[in-house]
Amino acid sequence: MSRFALICCFLFTLVPVHAEKLKELASVAGVRNNQLVGYGLVVGLDGSGDQTTQTPFTVQSVVNMLTNLGIQVPSGGNLQLKNVAAVTVTSTLPAFARPGQPLDVTIASIGNAKSLRGGTLLMAPLKGADGQIYAMAQGNIIVAGAGASAGGSSTQVNQLATGRIPSGATVEKSVPTLLGNGEFVQLELLTTDFTTANRVVNAVNTQYPGTAVALDGRVIQVRAPQDNNLRVAFLSRLENIDVTPAESGPKVIINARTGSIVMNQSVKLDSCAISHGNLTVTITADNTVVQPNPLAGGKTAKVQNADIQIQADKGPIARLPKSSTLRDVVRALNAVGATPQDLLAILQAMKAAGSLKAELEVI
């Protein structure tokens, strides 16, 4: 069975739409994460750091660090820093984070370091979008990979230029988070849908009559107590209300890099006929050397002879019946006998012809 069939068969096992908790469908406006980023140096590498001749910013960073520590580096010196790598440090500051709270950080090389395994990140400030420092990161890096090389040969498992430091950063500054404005809080649906928004309003008003109003297809305004303790208790009860979301529209997601195709259970097909074949072009180069006669006065020359062959596979016409369920859609597309990569073009053509009743999204 192809990978396409496996993916779609797995999706077919999804249960029908049922009631979900409100907190699975919406979030409270203002309660959000904030991205942090910083620049730092990783030291202690076993000769796998940046090649300083190609990454001068690494040398400049080390000189600035030593100067700040009171060490004067002679000007004009040629520093060879094979055990140092310049990296970016990223993390996520959650809502309601307070100073002293630990954060996980991700380290990634921005130079040409071969590996960060065994390295230690020196203290690096993490800044938000406003340029202010919200956390400080430092610690030993964990790299989920391994590699070895000898005599020009090498082998590697996973990515060695990226690592993590669990609880490697400490929050230094909190971000104020307001739970609503005045007597109201706003719920923001994760996906804009007027039907779901209307059902959320009805579900909330059933529990708390006259408190919820839909502002648009995504935002629902709810009247809430103004006392902080009472508001938190109210939101706790609110997020556990059962809501039946609207059935999602038909959608097909295509990953053009890997050839993966994922479709939901609402995808349908109209009757159509498909003819599919492969075109294979093979080019073989045969390099030869032409040696002229000794008395001809010519020069030895290289000649490249190219052999080009084109093979077109037969593409019989396959009729696909109208399919109203995901199981029928999978069976019909598998009848074409195309690979997942071929199905990318087939689905796009079917969409253009109006036979595929779904939204196509390429990622």
Give exposure, 132-152, as e/b (b: 16+ Cβ within 10 Å).
eebbbbbbebebeeebeeeee
End-to-end CA distance of the chain: 24
Q: What is the average per-residue pLDDT within 113-121?
A: 91
pLDDT tens-digit readout, 75-106: 766 777 888 999 999 999 999 999 999 999 99
* CATH classification of the domain holding 197: 3.30.70
Bridge partners of 221, per DSSP, are 186, 213
pLDDT tens-digit readout, 256-306: 666 677 877 778 877 777 766 655 556 666 667 777 777 666 677 776 666
Last-in-domain residue among 171, 188, 210: 171
- By the 8 A CB rule, do 205 and 159 touch? no
Q: Report the distance separating Cα 301 and Cα 288, nearest Å.
A: 9
Residue 98 covered by a domain: yes
- Predicted pLDDT of residue 160: 84
Residues 63 and 115 in one domain: yes
CA 252 to chain centre: 18
Would you give the DSSP letter of residue 323?
B
Bridge partners of 308, per DSSP, are 283
Residue 232 covered by a domain: yes
Residues 182 and 166 in one domain: no
Q: What is the pTM of this model?
A: 0.67
Residues 164 and 188 in one domain: no
Between residues 296 and 116, the one the model is more confident about: 116
- Two tokens at 201? 């309003």
Measured in residues, the chain has a length of: 363
- By the 8 A CB rule, do 46 and 83 touch? yes
DSSP element (H, E) containing 268: strand 268-269
DSSP element (H, E) containing 334: helix 326-335
Residues 135 and 236 in one domain: no
Residues 233 and 254 in one domain: no
Residue 41 covered by a domain: yes
pLDDT tens-digit readout, 13-65: 444 457 889 999 999 988 889 999 999 999 999 888 888 777 888 888 888 89
CA 250 to chain centre: 23
Would you give the DSSP letter of residue 82?
T
Nearest in space to 46 (alpha carbons), one of 114, 103, 102, 93: 114
Residues 127 and 75 in one domain: yes
Residue 25 covered by a domain: no
Residues 146 and 91 in one domain: yes
- By the 8 A CB rule, do 275 and 316 touch? yes
Q: Report the distance separating Cα 117 and Cα 201, nearest Å.
A: 52
- Write out the residue range of the structural domain in which residue 328 sits: 1-17+248-285+308-363
Residues 360 and 258 in one domain: yes
